Amino acid sequence: MEDTIKQLFQIEEASGRIMDRVELQKEACRKEFEEKTAAFDAQMKRETEEHLNGLREQLKAEREAKLSDLRTETQTREEKMRSLFAVKKDALAGGLVKSILEG
């Protein structure tokens, strides 16, 4: 009977040591998980920021190209209007004077 009690006590001690090791391993796993999670989050943040910066640059280039096209188009239209006005100004002025005098 005493041997049985002694064996049960030894089993209890062994199980306590095993549980202590399990707790240490759990803590180590938790720390490792937290470190890996933090590293992953930091990497994702960097990659996301790099991607966003690339998109911003692309949009900026597209916007500048469109503005340049609009400026060119506006300048071309203005030149055409000035040319047209230079050619037709006398006729327009004559028509205006005529409508005033008749009016």
Q: For 3-62, how does the pLDDT look when each residue is reduced to its tens digit (9 = 90+)? A: 888 898 899 999 999 999 999 999 999 999 999 999 999 999 999 999 999 999 999 999
60 lies in which domain range?
1-77
Specify the number of domains making up the chain.
1
Tell me what pLDDT residue 103 has. 66
What predicted TM-score, i.e. pTM, was given to this entire model?
A: 0.57
User: Is 58 within a domain?
Assistant: yes
- Is 41 part of any domain? yes
Residue 8 located in a structural domain: yes
Decide if 86 is inside a domain. no
5/1 Cα distance (integer angstroms): 6
Does any domain span residue 45? yes
Cα-to-chain-centroid distance, residue 23: 42
For residue 97, is it within any domain?
Answer: no
